[in-house]
Structure 1
């Protein structure tokens, strides 16, 4: 038996995928939604999986501060420089020398596909949980990211052995 809690949030962001064929080579935006599920085999001393309020605040603050009304691009995308020069918020995926902590979490993810955004948000959830009271064995079990009503990616981090 496992106990689970899920935090749901949404944000508006643009991205483009010039490395794939099709319409996603053009800069475009989505109304993204994310659901992060944390599970634990047993409840902790506080009778919780994780301090739920703090998890919600941490995840939502990060998303609102780094992704909402921002543009997600690959670090090698030619649009990075002109958008930054115009004052747009840009989160670079796959940067070799990340300029900030947010971009460090996107290392190894060269393009902002919905799958990569799910991995990024899983890493964010893990970093938020690192400083929170939680049950023994509590971990990010699943991150579901929806970029449209019909298109969803699911990331399930592997359980460390």
Structure 2
């Protein structure tokens, strides 16, 4: 019996975003920023057209979402007392755990705080939405997301 083969492609993108984690205490309770890097992997069991997905379209979809909602903005928990102040200033804000989530925040409605682990889940959901809107090999799906918030700290989500 032959080993099962899986074909995969991975895109990588970076963004600059602030967050804070007051529920953890320590230095991360302060508002601070990172140069985040993410990798999103799409895998498929076969590739009849010799591609898993078209790289350009997938990269554009992921990058456009990140650049629109996260880049040069702030990620906060919906209950964070800084939310009203940043909203009043017209700052780009992405809320995690928002009961009254705007459409873009639906991906993080069940994630209370913007931990690096939650950002990996968020970007996996965004990747799945982008993938659903494009042609791909049969059975293609998001199978891994890696998010680095610093050069030494990362979290991953895998299927």
Per the shorter chain, which TM-score range?
Answer: over 0.9
TM-score by length of 1: 0.94
List structure 1 segments (4+ residues) > 3 angstroms apart after TM superposition: none
Which of 3, 6, 12 in structure 2 is aligned with 1:2?
A: 6
Aligned-residue Cα RMSD (Å) equals 0.8
- What is aligned with 2:124? 122
Partner SS for 2:63: helix
Structure 1 unaligned runs (5+)? none
Number of residue equivalences:
155
- What is aligned with 1:137? 139
Task: Report the Cα distance in structure 2 between the residues aligned to 1:52 and 1:86, rounded to whole angstroms.
Answer: 37
Task: Report the Cα distance in structure 1 between the residues aligned to 2:45 and 2:107, rounded to whole angstroms.
Answer: 27
Alpha-carbon deviations, 1:27-50, whole Å to 9, x = none? 000000000011111113x31111
Structure 2 unaligned runs (5+)? none
- What is aligned with 1:95? 98
TM-score by length of 2: 0.95
Task: Report the Cα distance in structure 1 between the residues aligned to 2:95 and 2:61, rounded to whole angstroms.
Answer: 21
Task: Report the Cα distance in structure 2 between the residues aligned to 1:155 and 1:87, rounded to whole angstroms.
Answer: 32
